Structure 1
Amino acid sequence: MTSQDEVAGALEPPTKRRRLSLEQSDKHEHNLEVSLPSMQAFSPEQKKEFEVGIQTYVNPRSEVLEGVLKQRYSDFIVNEILPNGEVVHLTSTKAPRQKQHKAVNDSAQLSTAQASGDEVSQRGEPTSEIVQQTSKANDPEQNANNLPDVAEADREKLVGYFNEDAVEDILKLYHSIKEHPSRKAHEHSTVRTAFTTDRSVRSQIHQHIREVFKSTIESSTDHDGVLILKAANTNSRGKQQGNSWNRPQNKNQRPGKLGWLDRGGEYLHFTIYKENKDTMEVVSWLTRNLKCNAKSFQFAGTKDRRAVTTQRCSAYRIEAERLEAQNRTLRGSKVGDFEYHHQGLELGDLSGNEFVITLRDCKISNAENAFTNLDAFTQDLQTRMQSLHSNGYINYYGQQRFGTFSTRTDVIGRYILQENFQAACDAILTFQQDALDAAQQQDSTTTIGQDDKNRALAIHTWRRDKTLNAALDILPRKFSAEAQLMRHLTKQPSDYLGALMTIQRNLRLMYVHAHQSYIWNMAATNRMKLYGSKVVPGDLVLVNEHKDKATSLNDTTTSTVTATDADGEQIIDPAPHDRAAQSDDIFERARALTENETTSGAYTIFDIVLPQPGHDILYPNNESGAYYKTFMSTPEGGELDPHNMRRKHREFSLSGSYRKVVGRIGQEFSVEAHRYTADNEQLVKTDLDNLYTDRDSHANGASGGHETPEKSDEILVRQGDKIAAVLKFQLGASQYATVALRELSKGGIAQYKPDFSGGR
């Protein structure tokens, strides 16, 4: 690992890179600089960041914004953003009330639905149109070819939303899908067009697109507010119109019980609201109480533990009424907003997250008037946030990616890629001696968390006595990887690869992806040191994003199918038949820029990507690309060959992927500065606070009661001698709010640590 002397030496260069030449500056809207922090006042947290490659800043400024993050878990509120741009909020915990009727077989249900032609509610049963499509499900090819033409009224509506050119492109995409229904989604064109910033109108447009084009076209909004339309993947279209709907209902179905077709689908989509809990912790609790398989539940991505988070989840053949009943005993979480759908969620089925973050005890270095002039402090925050959108931040993988234990997840991944499976198992089963000492002495005054003490004691007991049951009785349930390793190695002490393969797939893949992320962080730091914001020949851009700019494509390789791990990162399996159905069933390809393209002004730093190392990616054709071979040959880099990432075990044979070098927050953001006194004061309302306020207001309103409930991000205004900053912004999937805050504060934000959490 990097020593402290090496850290100090690396931080000695000047704090600013030279600015671009005037000629280059004129050709680029964003003229960024890169600075390195000085070693002075380099905190332990910053040293940890440095060790995982988080070393530079984009926008140099002298003032450090100091503050405390996550002092309360309600200081970090995360709401998932759906692919259509809708922000997920918990609005109801009640199951939709369905009409009861006498159970009938499928053919009778279809016949009745076709005869009635009645539409049904969005949250309930499918429309008659979908039922009619279902009746033809035995011939999906014919069904796709017989899609109706777009009515003139619908076309005029689309022109009202966009313009003639955009509508023509959309219609061409639609006709392409009609004429070639068996093509994969990525084999059709992608349409990009300007979009309204009015979120209520956006939702209507997304809904209208689904209705007009019969869900054959998917729409989503990127961070810059651009609408992206592409063909729905063939699996999604098959699920909507395919044979699954032609199966008969359960013959043992009770009279008066609605079938899945009548409800709207076999997959129940619902919202999980949680406080200070892991996503898997809530899902595991639900599976135990519902007595169902964990595989029944799917979600788009995991969320922070020490936070208040809201996200969508789906469950296969679970009734809403059963889930609603769990709210009576759920602690620190709620479920609600139930809807039945034809298909479940997949990892990655989100466009990003919206954050409402409270920073407490804020101070600005060399700005003592910040506490006497709240307006000046607010203006400073506004300037910093604007820079996060205009100039961006280095799109590092945050420290969460590498774990909070003494043995980082990327180190475990490095051992796996080196095929040193024993070292990988030993690394997972390490613990800190302080945690064991505290557990054995039953020290109640220590700041070490109880789970970490129990983990250390369980592993120690297993290593010492080889008694599995005694160890598992002590080990907290959430440490599933440790439990699986101990179970397997008790039976087969030398089968380390077999032990690793018993760990949940997403988790064991996260180890190797963490090492890829570590290399990416180091490469991003190197690239920004070399070139700053300048776009240079050999830099990579994504092919699919710039088809309109490119005169020719250097890479025409067939696409590789991807899945994502629990952090939302791409998992690429090299075997072509090993598929996973995704809403965006495409692996991005990149190409190198020519010298003419770099001087054209058509590309900025926000377009440039760097690869995670793999056997199916392109490396930059410049010094930035050469760095991969240099760094990866070192012990820290794993002594690996970036051009030889195939392994005997397919799962660890990495194809690689691409990631933008510079990220930015969405253009819609807000800042507030408020005074407060007590650290335990809650300064922002959560979705659950809002829900209760709504219910109280509704109940009182019936007797002439309260006003309209407050919004979820409304400040609970206080007075006091301390300053809190409340920041609201949006980030894309797999972008880290903590990394954006690091750029905003110049490393001055410290994360509150309620207890010691260094188990490994």
Structure 2
Amino acid sequence: METPDIAVEPPAKRIRLSTPEQLKNDSSNGAGQNSKAKPQEEEEDTQLEKELKAGINAYINPATPGFSGTLKQRYTDFLVNEILPSGKVLHLQTIGAPVQKNGKKEEVKKEEKAVRVESKPVEQHAGKVAAKEDSVAKNGTPQKPVSKLSEEDRTELVEIFGEDVTASIIQFHEKILAEPDRKAKELGSIASNTIEDKDDRTKAHRAVRRIFNSTMETTTGDNNTIAISKAFVQNNKWGRVTAGAERAKGKLGWQELGGEYLHFTLYKENKDTMESIHFLATQLRFNIKNFQFAGTKDRRAVTVQRISTYRVHADKLAALNRNLRNAKIGDFKYENTGLALGDLLGNEFCITLRDCHFPGEDGLDMEARLANAKQLLSRAVSEVQESGFINYYGLQRFGSFSTGTHEVGTKLLQEDLEGAIKLILDYSPEILAAAQRPDGEVTNISSDDRNRALALHMWENKADLQDVLAKMPRKFSAESNIIRHLGREKKGLRISEKDWQGALSTIQRNMRLMYVHAYQSLVWNVAAGKRWELYGGKVVEGDLVLVGDKEEADGAPREEFDEDGDVIIQPGVDDSAATDGDFARARPLRKEEAESGKYVIEDIVLPLPGWDIKYPSNEVGAFYKEFMGSERGGRLDPHNMRRKWKDISLSGGYRKLIARPGTAMEWDVRVYRSVNEQLVKTDLERIYKASLKAKNGEEPKAEENDDEGEVAEEEKLAVVLKMQLGSSTYATMALRELMKAGGVKSYKADFGGGRGG
């Protein structure tokens, strides 16, 4: 194995990808390893309160003793590795290594080393062409401009783009025909004004392709503008180019490499999946939609997952490693297809819980505490392995802010779009007060959260739009997009300040869906608790079970997944619900079936509310109507979930009531002395260790202490757990069943982030 593309430095207990200044900043915002935590009693009450608010209230084995421990005191205490469809656990193996094909390394000519995937930056105002003003072809003969458009076609373009942009499009098309040998990247591109309505953007794409006979390519930008550029030409024929890429050339044709999609492994520390992908897309000048993945991963963790992108050479992507912070990419492979949500079996978690305490340990020395802990943990793990746990959606599904994502979803489903926006733009007065303190005053609130509160306060007080957007941190894209839309001006007047749907449409679709999915999750959690309260682990008449593979038949719904891997039920060809009898996702059990013993509790599913699903035909089904009709449930009707705006019209889905670890859980109890002691190696640490061994011919010796001046602490117990869970199953809910009420102590700073305190 070649030496990884990482700096060789003295062995450390964990490899820090951050600079010292980053670590200092991380400590101030709760992301560091030694942030000031909330008092234990306050944190315990807050955690229980949040769980109850999210409908999380029942245990399968409530009588089994639990224990307490601190979760994610270091983000390296929470390791997540994807389980591939093959069943193999994904680990980062190499960084920046050349792609292998048929046992041979790629041979790349210098001039062919990377496919040119960049496109020139789209001009920010309509009608400005980035090409040079050269209207003579290579043979020196001036080319005739395109013949005039029909009045009907010109009228259609004006209705879509307006007079100025239409004139620019026609002029750009004339330049393309006048200079047929010029490459698309040399000619540049032009951009329309923002087109908020999706149907209007679709109409724009079709019109340009039809009217100009596919000689121009159109793509939608992040701000809902339409970028127009020259289409790719092959053998004197016009053809579309996906994602702005040109064909691979010479012997490095994509099929020879293995396919048009480059798959790679993303290793990240304490970062969101989308944050890492956004950086890669920016460096490649790609639309972020050009990257695909099977599921998002935790932020405060070390995670390993596969990503795919279209028509990029591995060496070009691997070169970005030198600019990546708190992340690495490697293990490149070309494939014929990209990844999609749900393309994984699940995730393997390796979790370190620190400062653990078990019942009956008072007065015991450390050796006796260790023996007591192992005995109790062995029993608890065995019961979770055998009985599983209620498959609740974890707290992260509902956001970490004082205003939960499910509350925004409730407003959307009530079709109170203005109310939804007010919740999205909500902020904590405490955070604003901290942001307005004199410079240099100590605070545990991150600068991003403080600046967000300041920006929203400025917006409320009618500050200049550009000043507000400049103050808003980039990661709060939903807030920025809404403010940008509502603040649009024409001749000094705001023209969109009450266009609530238009403003919400500027948010990425996945994020809009996140809000309504969070509402579904709340209803599911509450219904799951009620189902367990009524019937426990017994299978009863009216319970729902999934029905085979009939959904794959012609005319039946197509199976898709949401951001957490849960099945989403899609409408059939005739937009019908499950009552037409042609197919079924789930069906209620008859009395004799429930009593036959054929079905077990692991077979039972509960619905996520929607118009294309069935509800249990027992007391649980009646409870859905009762809860959703209450004030907490939004006073909604479970049998009327269609909405005029299709993006919030829920078709529904199903989720297993009980989850169980996929393989035998592994566990250990260890004694440690320092909070900085890393008890489990990350993938990057393993690579680093292997590279040092290959270089020096011997195992590197671990140092006792990698923090100068650190004082040894008293001995404490740590529990290390390894378990494999399905893609839509939350490790925190497995821990909750294992540790019981109040057992999981989340390590957070006083104002841990976001909108709340």
Match 2:398 to one of 399, 402, 407: 402
Hey, what does 2:70 align to over in structure 1?
Answer: 68
Deviation string for 1:280-300 (max 9, x for gaps)?
Answer: 111111111122221111111
Secondary structure (helix, strand or coil) at the match of 1:358 reads strand
Hey, what does 2:655 align to over in structure 1?
Answer: 659
Aligned residues: 556
CA contact (8 A) 1:102 1:256 kept: no
CA distance in structure 2 between the aligned counterparts of 1:385 and 1:333, rounded to whole angstroms: 33
Deviation string for 1:517-545 (max 9, x for gaps)?
Answer: 10000100111111111111011111128
Match 1:98 to one of 90, 102, 106: 106
| 2:692 aligned with 1:684 | no
Hey, what does 2:545 align to over in structure 1?
Answer: 541
Match 1:314 to one of 308, 314, 328: 308
| 2:507 aligned with 1:500 | no
Secondary structure (helix, strand or coil) at the match of 2:650 reads coil
Hey, what does 1:445 align to over in structure 2?
Answer: 442
Secondary structure (helix, strand or coil) at the match of 2:354 reads strand
Q: CA deviation at 1:576?
A: 3.9
Match 1:354 to one of 311, 327, 348: 348
Taking the TM superposition and a 5 Å limit, the aligned residue runs for 1:4-23 are none
Match 1:756 to one of 736, 751, 757: 751
Secondary structure (helix, strand or coil) at the match of 1:725 reads strand
Hey, what does 2:326 align to over in structure 1?
Answer: 332
Taking the TM superposition and a 5 Å limit, the aligned residue runs for 1:473-492 are 473-491=470-488, 492=496
Evaluate the alpha carbon distance shift between residue 448 and residue 708 of structure 1 in structure 2; reply closer, same or farther with a 3 A threshold.
Answer: closer
RMSD between aligned residues: 3.0
Which moved further from structure 2: 750-759 or 627-636?
750-759
Match 2:530 to one of 500, 517, 526: 526
CA distance in structure 2 between the aligned counterparts of 1:504 and 1:419, rounded to whole angstroms: 19
CA contact (8 A) 1:391 1:664 kept: yes
Hey, what does 1:126 align to over in structure 2?
Answer: none
Q: CA deviation at 1:514?
A: 0.4
| Amino acid in the other structure paired with 2:591 | E
CA contact (8 A) 1:507 1:566 kept: no
CA distance in structure 2 between the aligned counterparts of 1:248 and 1:504, rounded to whole angstroms: 23
CA distance in structure 2 between the aligned counterparts of 1:251 and 1:754, rounded to whole angstroms: 45
CA distance in structure 2 between the aligned counterparts of 1:252 and 1:346, rounded to whole angstroms: 23
CA distance in structure 2 between the aligned counterparts of 1:609 and 1:482, rounded to whole angstroms: 36
| Amino acid in the other structure paired with 2:623 | Y
Hey, what does 1:167 align to over in structure 2?
Answer: none
Q: CA deviation at 1:719?
A: 10
Hey, what does 1:11 align to over in structure 2?
Answer: none
Hey, what does 2:183 align to over in structure 1?
Answer: none
Deviation string for 1:694-734 (max 9, x for gaps)?
Answer: 11122233xxx34999xxxxxxxx99610000000000011
Hey, what does 1:514 align to over in structure 2?
Answer: 518
Flag structure 1 segments of 5+ consecutive residues without an equivalent: 1-38, 105-245, 548-552, 579-586, 710-717
CA distance in structure 1 between the aligned counterparts of 2:339 and 2:457, rounded to whole angstroms: 39
CA distance in structure 1 between the aligned counterparts of 2:678 and 2:621, rounded to whole angstroms: 48
CA distance in structure 2 between the aligned counterparts of 1:753 and 1:86, rounded to whole angstroms: 33
> Which structure is larger by alpha-carbon Rg, 1 or 2?
2
Evaluate the alpha carbon distance shift between residue 42 and residue 320 of structure 1 in structure 2; reply closer, same or farther with a 3 A threshold.
Answer: closer
Secondary structure (helix, strand or coil) at the match of 1:691 reads helix
| Amino acid in the other structure paired with 2:320 | Q
Taking the TM superposition and a 5 Å limit, the aligned residue runs for 1:609-758 are 609-701=605-697, 705-706=698-699, 721-747=715-741, 748-754=743-749, 756-758=751-753
| 2:378 aligned with 1:382 | yes
Hey, what does 2:705 align to over in structure 1?
Answer: none
Q: CA deviation at 1:386?
A: 1.7
| Amino acid in the other structure paired with 1:751 | S
Q: CA deviation at 1:256?
A: 5.7
CA distance in structure 2 between the aligned counterparts of 1:425 and 1:522, rounded to whole angstroms: 26
| Amino acid in the other structure paired with 1:756 | F
Q: CA deviation at 1:450?
A: 1.6
Deviation string for 1:59-78 (max 9, x for gaps)?
Answer: 12253301000000000000
Secondary structure (helix, strand or coil) at the match of 2:304 reads strand
Q: CA deviation at 1:378?
A: 2.0
Q: CA deviation at 1:689?
A: 0.1
Hey, what does 1:109 align to over in structure 2?
Answer: none
Q: CA deviation at 1:474?
A: 1.5
CA contact (8 A) 2:569 2:651 kept: yes
Secondary structure (helix, strand or coil) at the match of 2:524 reads helix
| 2:282 aligned with 1:288 | yes
Match 2:462 to one of 462, 465, 470: 465
| 2:271 aligned with 1:274 | no
Flag structure 2 segments of 5+ consecutive residues without an equivalent: 1-40, 100-104, 113-238, 489-495, 576-582, 703-711
Evaluate the alpha carbon distance shift between residue 325 and residue 257 of structure 1 in structure 2; reply closer, same or farther with a 3 A threshold.
Answer: farther
Give the % identical residues. Answer: 51
CA distance in structure 2 between the aligned counterparts of 1:724 and 1:73, rounded to whole angstroms: 15
CA distance in structure 1 between the aligned counterparts of 2:632 and 2:387, rounded to whole angstroms: 31
CA contact (8 A) 1:300 1:346 kept: yes
CA distance in structure 1 between the aligned counterparts of 2:110 and 2:670, rounded to whole angstroms: 59
Match 2:590 to one of 589, 594, 603: 594
Taking the TM superposition and a 5 Å limit, the aligned residue runs for 1:65-214 are 65-93=67-95, 94-96=97-99, 97-100=105-108
Secondary structure (helix, strand or coil) at the match of 1:327 reads helix
CA distance in structure 2 between the aligned counterparts of 1:498 and 1:692, rounded to whole angstroms: 49
Match 2:55 to one of 50, 53, 58: 53
Q: CA deviation at 1:623?
A: 0.5
CA distance in structure 2 between the aligned counterparts of 1:394 and 1:752, rounded to whole angstroms: 24
